[in-house]
Structures are given as structure tokens and as C-alpha cells.
Amino acid sequence: MFNFIVYYLLLIFYLVKTHSMSVVPILKEEFMSTNDDFKKVENMLYNYKNTKIEIENMYLDLEILENDYKGIGAISYEEKTGPTNSFNSSVENEVVKRDEKILRLRKKIRLKEIEIIKINNVLEALNEKEKEFIKYKYFEKYTHSKISEVIYISFDYINEYRIKIINKISSYFQEEI
């Protein structure tokens, strides 16, 4: 029995030693090139801060639009007031256009907010070390060597760890991405 265990361990050691260097990179490349979800999740994470800034700026644009009353006022003497076949005025047209812009902007803001909320929800499912990795890799944009120093992970393991975490995150986004 002891000989069998030793033989088995030696076989495993041999397989890991001889095949790990050639098989793992191929699997990584195959996964990353065939899986658009992986890239989409990474893009969402890389753009997290920018998306939050976009939301703030869109709220400012919305405030400007809601307070913009240019052209909505009394009839000027230059404006034609004769009979026409039109059932609406320039003031009505401007109000309608402004309201449509406001609705489009509100929808765009909400979609961006939902994206941020989803990312935050998924990040809550990660353990502390994974959260730190995401923070440094995607939000702070640290290099791999800096990340390995900060969170005490081997430099050689960083890429595998990244793939593991992104796969975990993308599993929560199965239907959305």
C-alpha cells in the first residue's frame, strides 16, 4: 500500500512538473480568446471609476436641462403669428424636445447606476483578498509586480488569480453580459 501511494505521488509530481508549464498557458489563452464575457467584465471593472464620474456629470447635465427655459417665453414680434396648418408652436416643440432629452438622459443615468450597483453587489461576494486584487488591478491600475507586493501573492500567480476572480465575477453576470 505504501509503495502505491509513493508511486502515485511521484506520478502526480511528474505530471505537474512536465505538463503544467505547457498546458496552463494554452488553457488561459483559449479561455481568454473565446470568451467575450471575460473581456466585458474586465472592461466594466477598468471603467468603474469613469462610469461613476459619467453619472455625476449626467446629473449635472440633467439639472441644466431641467432649469433651461431658453426660448420658452412670450411671443416676440419676429415670430410669425399668422394662420398655419401646424397644430403646435415653437414653444411647444422646444418643450417636447427638451422633455425627450430629459427622459433619454434619465434612462442613460439609470442604466449606468444599475451597472455600478451590479458591480458593487458582485464585489460583496468576493473575499477580502479578491476585493483587494480588484481594487489594485482595475481601480488603482497597479502593475502586476506592485500588486504582488501589496497583497502578498506570487508574481507568477497573479495572472492565474486574475482569471480565477474574473471567472467568478462573470458567473454572476451570466445573463446580462
Q: What is the pLDDT of residues 119-176, one digit of tens each?
A: 999 999 999 999 999 999 999 999 999 999 999 999 899 999 999 999 999 988 766 6
Give, to the nearest 10 degrees, the angle between helix 36-46 and helix 158-172.
100
Q: What is the pLDDT of residues 64-97, one digit of tens each?
A: 988 876 555 555 555 555 555 555 677 778 888 8
Residues near 129 by Cβ (< 8 Å), separated by ≥ 6? 151, 153
User: CB of 41 within 8 A of CB of 173?
Assistant: yes
Tell me, what's the pLDDT at 130?
Answer: 96
- The 3-state DSSP class for residue 174 equals coil
Burial degree of 42 (CB within 10 A; 0-12, 13-18, 19+): middle
Q: How far apart are CA 20 and CA 24, in angstroms?
A: 6
Which residue ranges make up each domain of the chain?
28-70+89-172
Looking at the whole model, is its pTM more than 0.85? no
Tell me, what's the pLDDT at 144?
Answer: 93
Tell me, what's the pLDDT at 21?
Answer: 43
